[in-house]
Amino acid sequence: MNVLILGMDGYIGWGLSLHLAAKGITVSGIDNFSRRRHVEEVGSWSAIPILSMSDRLSVADRLYPGKVSFIEGDILDFDFLTGVLKRNRPDTIVHLGEMPSAPYSMIDATHAFYTQQNNVLGTLNLLFAMRDYSPEAHLVKLGTMGEYGTPNLDIPEGFFDIEYRGKKANLMFPRQPGSFYHASKVHDTHNIMLTCKIWGLRATDIMQGVLFGTRTHEINASKNPETATRFDFDEVFGTVINRYCAQAVIGYPLSIYGKGGQTRGFLSLIDSLQCLAIACENPPEKGEYRVFNQLENVYDVTTLARAVQRAAGRMGISVTLDHTVNPRKEAEEHYYKVDAHRLPKLGFRPTRTLEQELDIMLEDLIGFTDRIRQKQSVIAPRTTWDGKGPAMPVSQQNSFSEKPST
């Protein structure tokens, strides 16, 4: 297998590169390093220090000789992208080259524009490049469970059988994105589905749950710091469990947005890599557009905060839970039930329990409390969905333990 990874320098991208290389797979990658710039733009950094790409490549080459290569470039540059496909002729393309943050897309018009431009038009470029230079390749595209929103129905894997006025059809399950970022992934979904139909491309569109975690089979920041992948904890790029863990190690209250009944699918980084490898190893038929719901478990964000609180307790750290004004516009209590059968059928088995994973994360993060403390002002939510500027800092809001006032 010859895999091309778009977004090799990212949280998942670097982890996947090492994971596939460790399996003996030849991996080439591209990245425009936008994630490093964006995190800097919002005033933060990775809690766990990461190497430059050139140093990463040296490490990869030492660990997996000749398996990992890289070239810097932007998917919005069509000539660059076609050049990569022409030269590499990958049989699998894993597209992680999108701007992955909902809050970043909601900052203002410029950031919303950038998000949809980069994600939707970048993917459109990729689809045309594939049509012309890698029409047989398998596109593994990272979407998000957030494409579905929170309908008051079970969420199937992409499509559902329905009967309407006496006629039956199998149709795409309606999407209800809750931010311009989520919408960009919905737009991709429609574009990719179209090209499978009209050009016979083959694609796995992955509706992934919210990720968390620091360690993979190949990455252990505590033992081998040079393998580390990034770990963001700011309000813009930090996912909820990662933010809680960063808050926990500095003894900062865990920020629960609003009522805290928001329920989502979650998945550890190590298992995201397991799933992506399974997707790569099991390509769909030519012309097939296939959706995987990629998650381990469904939790609400208060349950998760309590789990992190207990994990911190096991390390002797006492933290409180803090309910902040929700910067997002979203249902805070709702029905949520998701089908996720396809990956388990192909062999996916969760690696660890949530508790085990949290213990590992706190162990990996505890050495970087200084780095988190230096940037602790970027953890509290400032980017609001109504565009009316920063939410109040946590210190000025009702702060309490375990009992929401909203």
Contact positions vs its own copies (CB under 8 A): 78, 108-110, 112-113, 116-117, 120-121, 124-125, 128-129, 131-132, 151-154, 160, 162, 164-165, 167-169, 171-180, 183, 186-187, 190-191, 193-194, 197-199, 329, 335, 385-387
Q: How far is the CB of 152 from its own copies (least distance, A)?
A: 5
Residue labelled with tokens 């959706």: 291
Report the residue number, 156 or 284, with the smaller CB distance to its own copies.
156
Q: Dihedral sign for Cα 60, 274, 36, 393, please.
A: negative
Q: Which is nearer to its own copies, 169 or 346 (CB)?
A: 169
Q: Which residues contact 289 (CB under 8 A, 6 or more apart)?
A: 192, 193, 196, 197, 202, 203, 205
Sole residue written with tokens 């609003």: 258
Q: Catalytic: 181?
A: yes
| C-beta of 131 vs 259, nearer to its own copies | 131
**Cα(321)–Cα(256) distance, rounded to whole angstroms?**
7
Residue 82 forms beta bridges with which residues?
A: none
Q: Which lies closer to its own copies via its Cβ, residue 117 or residue 318?
A: 117
End-to-end alpha carbon distance in the chain: 52
User: In terms of CB distance, is 24 or 164 closer to its own copies?
Assistant: 164
Pairwise CA distance, residues 254 & 274, whole Å: 29
Residue type, 157: E
Active-site choice (123, 144, 216, 229): 144
User: Catalytic one among 67, 141, 185, 375?
Assistant: 185
Q: Is 185 a known active-site residue? A: yes
Show the tokens assigned to 357. Answer: 């994973």
CA distances from 276 to 140, 317, 327, 336 (A): 8, 35, 31, 24
Residue 328 C-beta: closest distance to its own copies, Å? 9
Q: Which two tokens stand for residue 385?
A: 């969905």
Q: Closest distance between its own copies and the C-beta of residue 170, in Å? A: 9
Q: Is 403 a catalytic residue?
A: no
- What's the order of all strands across the beta sheet hosting 297-300? 210-212, 263-268, 297-300
Catalytic residue among 11, 114, 133, 181: 181
CA distance 181 to 119: 8
Residue numbers annotated as active site: 144, 181, 185
